[in-house]
């Protein structure tokens, strides 16, 4: 009888150890997936930030006249020799509505449109919102294009897939004073 109890006890202990190992493996995989998703989200935020930062600093580069053409909350258009090719082009930064970004399961993400002349590039990058604010030389908000001296860009990004019950989120902002306006 004691042999049967020993075998039964050893089986229960073995089962508990096996369950602990399985739970540890599941937890490890979840942490890895979340970490990879967060790293991708941060990389996308960095890419978007570099594009917007570079472009805003180049507003009016090699252009004579009022460089900014559109200054709205979620869109800016301006003239610039953005790629230093010797040719001034109209550059537009904007986003779509949430129905256009169908490549992810996130219902909030939108396409980021980067338009130079007649060339349009777009991608989701997980962006859910893009907001521009415009300020005059003393930092007061303005909607008068000719008085814009500072531009604040804000972006909100979310992961393409849920992490647990919600999407990973990140935020980035910058205020730029373009030299050529």
Q: What is the reported pLDDT for 175?
A: 95
Instruction: Provide the β-strand partners of residue 133.
Output: 152
Q: How many residues does the chain have?
A: 181
How much is the pLDDT for 172?
Answer: 93
Paired tokens of 138: 């003393």
d(CA 42, CA 22): 30
17: its two tokens: 């150890």
Looking at residue 40, its pLDDT comes to: 83
Q: Judging by beta carbons within 10 Å of its beta carbon (0-12, 13-18, 19+), is residue 11 exposed, middle or buried?
A: exposed
Q: Are strands 112-116 and 89-95 parallel, antiparallel or unpaired?
A: antiparallel
pLDDT of residue 122: 80
Q: What is the pTM of this model?
A: 0.78
| Spans of the chain below 50 pLDDT | none
């Amino acid at each position: 009888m004691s042999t049967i109890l020993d075998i039964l006890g050893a089986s229960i202990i073995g089962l508990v150890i096996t369950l602990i190992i399985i739970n540890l493996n599941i937890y490890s995989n979840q942490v890895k997936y979340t970490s990879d998703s967060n790293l991708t989200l941060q990389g996308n935020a960095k890419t978007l930030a570099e594009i917007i930062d570079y472009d805003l600093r180049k507003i009016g580069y090699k252009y004579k006249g009022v460089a900014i053409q559109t200054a709205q909350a979620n869109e800016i258009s301006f003239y610039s020799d953005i790629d230093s090719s010797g040719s001034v082009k109209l550059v537009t930064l904007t986003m779509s509505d949430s129905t256009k970004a169908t490549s992810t399961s996130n219902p909030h993400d939108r396409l980021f449109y980067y338009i130079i002349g007649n060339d349009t590039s777009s991608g989701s990058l997980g962006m859910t919102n893009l907001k521009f604010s415009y300020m005059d030389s003393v930092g007061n908000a303005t909607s008068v294009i000719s008085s814009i001296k500072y531009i604040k860009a804000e972006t909100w990004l979310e992961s393409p897939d849920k992490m647990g019950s919600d999407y990973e989120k990140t935020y980035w902002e910058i205020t730029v004073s373009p030299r050529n306006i």
